Structures are given as C-alpha cells and as structure tokens.
Amino acid sequence: MAIFMKYVVFTLLAAILISLGSGLYYLSRDDADSVKVLKALKIRVGLSAVLIIFLVASYFLGWIQPPA
C-alpha cells in the first residue's frame, strides 16, 4: 500500500508542476492568452485540492502514518 501511495502523490505533484509550467508558458508568450492561463490555474488549484483531500483521507483511514 505504501508504494501505491507514493506513486499517487508523485503523480499528482508532477501534474501540478506540469500545469504550473504550462501556465508560465502561456503567460510569458507575446500574445498572452488569458483563457489558457486561467485554465492552467484552475487545473493546478483543482489538483492541489485533490492532493490535500487524498492525503487527509489517507491519514484518517490509517493508510499513512506520521513519522515516529
């Protein structure tokens, strides 16, 4: 179970970083498209919320434990 949890967390973190990079790319272009920047921000915020909810639920369900 611990290996699965690590993969889920790392996958979500990678997706958050990719969304951050795409938002930066669209923001730094000469013809900055605010719709694409806003979409990247929405995706990043949504993924961050999913990650936090997943970690809190995993803690309360006993799937992860704080370090001793």
Q: What is the pLDDT of residue 3?
A: 85
Q: Whole domain around residue 29: which residue ranges?
A: 2-60
Q: How much is the pLDDT for 41?
A: 94
The verdict on residue 56 lying in a domain is yes
Q: CA dist 31 to 5, 35, 52, Å?
A: 40, 12, 34
Backbone φ and ψ of 61, nearest 5°: -85, -5
Total tally of structural domains belonging to the chain:
1
Per-residue pLDDT tens digits for 9-53: 999 999 999 999 999 998 898 777 788 899 999 999 999 999 999
Asked, for residue 32, whether it belongs to a domain, the answer is yes
Question: What whole-number distance in Å separates Cα of residue 60 and Cα of residue 45?
Answer: 23
Determine the pLDDT at residue 49.
97
Decide if 18 is inside a domain.
Answer: yes
Q: With respect to residue 67, please indicate whether it lies within any of the assigned structural domains.
A: no
Is 52 part of any domain?
Answer: yes
> What pLDDT band is residue 61 in, cutting at 50, 70 and 90?
very high
State the pLDDT at residue 33: 75
